[in-house]
Amino acid sequence: MYYDKDVARGAEATFLWFTEEIGELAAAIRNGSPDELRGEFADVLAWLVTLANIKNVDLTQALIDKYGTGCPGCKKLICQCPDSEKP
* 58, containing H or E segment: none
How do residues 20-74 score in pLDDT, each as one tens digit? 999 999 999 999 999 999 999 999 999 999 999 999 999 999 999 999 999 999 9
In a domain, residue 83? The reply is no
In a domain, residue 28? The reply is yes
In a domain, residue 65? The reply is no
In a domain, residue 70? The reply is no
Burial class of 32 by CB neighbour count within 10 A (0 to 12, 13 to 18, 19+): middle
Number of domains in the chain: 1
Measured between alpha carbons, how far is 53 from 18 in angstroms, rounded to an integer? 13
Return the CATH number at 40.
1.10.287.1080
In a domain, residue 11? The reply is yes
Measured between alpha carbons, how far is 71 from 85 in angstroms, rounded to an integer? 12
Range of the domain at 43: 3-56
Closest C-alpha among 87, 11, 79, 7 to residue 51? 11
In a domain, residue 19? The reply is yes
